[in-house]
Amino acid sequence: MSESNPVPYAESDLYRLRHSAAHVMAEAVLALFPEAKLAIGPPIEEGFYYDFDLGRGDDGRPKTFSPEDLEAIEARMKALLKHNAPFQRSSKTIEEARAFFADQPYKLELIQELAAGKVDENGNPLSEPVSEVGIYQHRQFVDLCRGPHVAYTSQVKANAVKVLRSSGAYWRGDEKRPQLQRIYGTAWPNKEQLDEYLQRLEEAKARDHRRLGKELGLFHISQTVGTGLPLWLPKGAILRETLEGFLRQAQVERGYLPVITPHIAKIDLYITSGHYPYYKDSQYTPIDVDGEKFMLKPMNCPHHIEIYKSAPRSYRDLPYRLAEFGTVYRYEQSGELTGLTRVRGFTIDDSHLFVTPEQLEGEFINVVKLIQYIIQAMGIHDFRARLGTNDPNSDKYAGTPAMWERGIRAIRQAADKLGLPYSVEEGEAAFYGPKLDFIARDVLKREWQLGTVQVDFLLPERFDLEYVGEDGQKHRPVMIHRAPFGSMERFVGLLIEHFNGAFPLWLSPVQAVLIPITDRNVEYAQKVAADLRAAGLRVEVDDSGARMNAKIRHAQLQKVPYMLVVGDKEADNQAVAVRTRQNADRGAVPVSEFIGRARSLIESKSMEL
RNA sequence: GCCGACGUAGCUCAAUUGGCAGAGCAAUGCUCUUGUAAAGCAAAGGUUAUGGGUUCGAUUCCCAUCGUCGGCUCCA
């Protein structure tokens, strides 16, 4: 949860500080690499970056920054910061700026776009052409820049800046344009805040789902099976199945109907749906069998459509809501894969709703409410909603302008009725229609799309879907595609980080560990475990040769909600000594009482223990 | 896919300028029978990602492939 801040970041002192630090870093880079060409260097959420083109080396490949170069750049930056200099703003006409930046091709391109009124220095869209551009100078370093900056370089503290890393980054974010060298850095008002930030990064690593997934035995990715194809270990599978069961129940209550469809289908299915050209570059190669081509399914929509078409439909059948945990395969580029959040085989908690035009808004609202219900049940608050629309200048989108307009209007009206805030982002739609996405962030603050609802007028056309209306005439239904979790893999990945591996009782793969104090207590522990299992609880008995203290430590590190210590006293009284993972020793409790409390907490999906 | 860094035991990490590959934890066996975050001892665990090359000799240097990580691009 972000605190409400009266000053937007882009107008804050911290933003100026970082922007100024970016200029000083560029100054340091030019001092060490005089031939470097400057691209852009904006502040970002927790720091800043600057992009450079270092030209090509003798081998013809683009030159890059080595780790040693980065150290030298940071050292030079700190040295420069020891000498105070004012930041001075001025302006130049377009012609003056062109002459001044004559040997800086990227700046020239920026000036061109400013003059044309396309985008500003940071790549954001402009409303109108500019006739003069802003220039900031400190010492000999001059940059095309709208500012603002701090008044003096001394306001950037040498001990509160750090050069973090470098990487390749395409100019203008376009993989067809040159790849530049980006240096990321961070700057804070003082050393203490820099240290706090660096410590936060360390803590974030400790709750990374890839690390916790290994430590807690949730999933494994085997190179032998294939990269991006996670294996769910028993504990991870329990977690996932619990989530699936939760959603299944919610769907039953809302009139969804289960279906099951195969993992491959003839390629013609996707050609008809129009999916094929959009997914063909991210597909496993089709399987050729006796001259017929089959594809691993990259999405479930066409299969559900075929189910809709398997019988004539009447308006009385609608809304017709088909749901499936459908596994799909997409051959994502190798560099994009990440733990569970980006994989090549994943299961969408997919559903397709076939509705009449009149039902569209109401059904859309119900779906959004379902997603909100799911997200809230997990205690997730740090998410945002995004309306993804088509980019009229792109050929990525199918359908008519009227279809897009209707869809976008339906989503806006539904969101407004729900009072749901959302941002609008052009070019974020599915190819067949606009969508409302729910987006959360991982521990490294990377954004991931989770739940999604999409309005689709196109596929009903493509597949010639119809239903018989009250008037006896044939009508075209509208489709809603939706997935509250998004994918089981990604959702579980983010859930691991959200809870730092300490899942609420109802989701915990192991809800309690029985810890016998001596070997003679093992038998009693097993009897209690059987009683707890009979009551529907997931329990283990730690009958290893370790001492009690070590068993507690182990259960604690596994983030098991309850440790139930049993010795002679407990055996005599049909009791367990309850300890929670929050280090709370609750003392001896009758077994029946423990069962009652645990079941009630599970029933209510409580976050408490 | 692109740029960079990296790949040593199940996990976390060592190994001077190229010279017999080590430790802790886990797992295994034995002893101890323990009251709320790590008992002791023993034995075991490796074609140093894979395939080539240079060298008397390669974990170390070179090339290729695969993979991991951080970005870019892309995406549920």
Mean pLDDT of chain A: 93
Which chain A residues 520-539 have CB under 7 A to strand B? 520
- How far, in Å, CA of A345 to CA of A503, rounded? 25
- What pTM value is reported for the model? 0.94
Q: What pLDDT is recorded for position A1? A: 41
Give Cα A591 distance to the centre of its chain. 42
Q: What pLDDT is recorded for position A443? A: 78
Q: What pLDDT is recorded for position A415? A: 95
Nucleotide nearest to A582 (CA to C1'): B37
Q: Integer distance in angstroms from CA A566 to C1' B29? A: 26
**In this predicted model, what pLDDT tens digit does every residue of A348-370 receive, in sequence order?**
999 999 999 999 999 999 999 99
**In this predicted model, what pLDDT tens digit does every residue of A57-78 receive, in sequence order?**
777 778 899 888 999 999 999 9
Say whether A478 sits in a helix, a strand or coil.
strand
Mean pLDDT of A371-389: 92
- How far, in Å, CA of A558 to CA of A551, rounded? 11
With pLDDT > 90 as the criterion, what percentage of chain A qualifies? 83
Which chain A residues 272-291 have CB under 7 A to strand B? 282
DSSP string spanning A195-261? HHHHHHHHHHHHT-HHHHHHHTT-EE--TTT-TT-PEEPHHHHHHHHHHHHHHHHHHHHTT-EE---
Beta carbon of A229 within 7 Å of strand B? no
Closest residue, CA to C1' of B27: A544
CA distances from residue A474 to A146, A402, A469, A523 in whole angstroms, order as listed: 59, 21, 6, 69
Q: What pLDDT is recorded for position A62? A: 83
Nucleotide nearest to A521 (CA to C1'): B33
pLDDT at A526 over 80: yes
By DSSP bridging, strand A539-541 and strand A512-516 are parallel
Among the ranges given (A1-15, A317-331, A567-581), the one the predictor scored with the smallest mean pLDDT:
A1-15
Q: What pLDDT is recorded for position A125? A: 66
Say whether A439 sits in a helix, a strand or coil.
strand
Which chain A residues 376-435 have CB under 7 A to strand B? 430
**In this predicted model, what pLDDT tens digit does every residue of A114-169 receive, in sequence order?**
888 777 766 666 677 788 899 999 999 999 998 899 999 999 999 999 999 999 99
Beta carbon of A60 within 7 Å of strand B? no
Mean pLDDT of A578-597: 96
Q: Integer distance in angstroms from CA A68 to C1' B19? A: 30
Q: Is A249 left (phi over 0), alpha (psi -120 to 50) or beta?
A: alpha
Mean pLDDT of A452-456: 96
Q: What pLDDT is recorded for position A128? A: 75
Nucleotide nearest to A437 (CA to C1'): B76
Beta carbon of A327 within 7 Å of strand B? no
Q: What pLDDT is recorded for position A121? A: 66
Beta carbon of A552 within 7 Å of strand B? yes
Residue pair A510/A537 in contact (Cβ under 8 Å)? The answer is: no
Beta carbon of A168 within 7 Å of strand B? yes
Beta carbon of A350 within 7 Å of strand B? no
- Count of positions (residues) in chain A: 609
pLDDT at A5 over 70: no
Q: Integer distance in angstroms from CA A545 to C1' B41? A: 14
Beta carbon of A204 within 7 Å of strand B? no
With pLDDT > 70 as the criterion, what percentage of chain A qualifies? 98
Closest residue, CA to C1' of B31: A545
Query: Which residue did the predictor score with more confidence, A462 or A126?
Result: A462
CB contact set of A193 (below 8 Å; sequence gap of 6+): A160
Structure tokens at A236: 């991870």
The dihedrals phi and psi of A559, each to the nearest 5 degrees, come to: 60, 35
Q: What pLDDT is recorded for position A2? A: 46
Nucleotide nearest to A171 (CA to C1'): B72
Nucleotide nearest to A70 (CA to C1'): B4
Mean pLDDT of A189-197: 95
Mean pLDDT of A45-59: 89
Which chain A residues 435-464 have CB under 7 A to strand B? 437, 444, 446-450, 452
Q: Is the torsion defined by CA of A75, A81, A85, A89 positive or negative?
A: positive
Beta carbon of A166 within 7 Å of strand B? yes
Q: What pLDDT is recorded for position A61? A: 77
Q: Integer distance in angstroms from CA A205 to C1' B11? A: 16
- Chain B positions with an atom below 7 A of a protein C-beta are 1-5, 11-12, 26-28, 30-40, 66-76
Q: What pLDDT is recorded for position A264? A: 94
pLDDT at A595 over 90: yes
Mean pLDDT of A24-51: 95
Cα angle A536, A250, A468 (rounded to 5 degrees) comes to: 145
Q: Integer distance in angstroms from CA A213 to C1' B26? A: 17
Q: Integer distance in angstroms from CA A58 to C1' B64? A: 22
Report the complex ipTM: 0.94
By DSSP bridging, strand A161-170 and strand A43-44 are unpaired
**In this predicted model, what pLDDT tens digit does every residue of A293-343 receive, in sequence order?**
999 999 999 999 999 999 999 999 999 999 999 999 999 999 999 999 999
Nucleotide nearest to A450 (CA to C1'): B76
**In this predicted model, what pLDDT tens digit does every residue of A267-295 receive, in sequence order?**
999 988 888 888 878 889 899 999 999 99
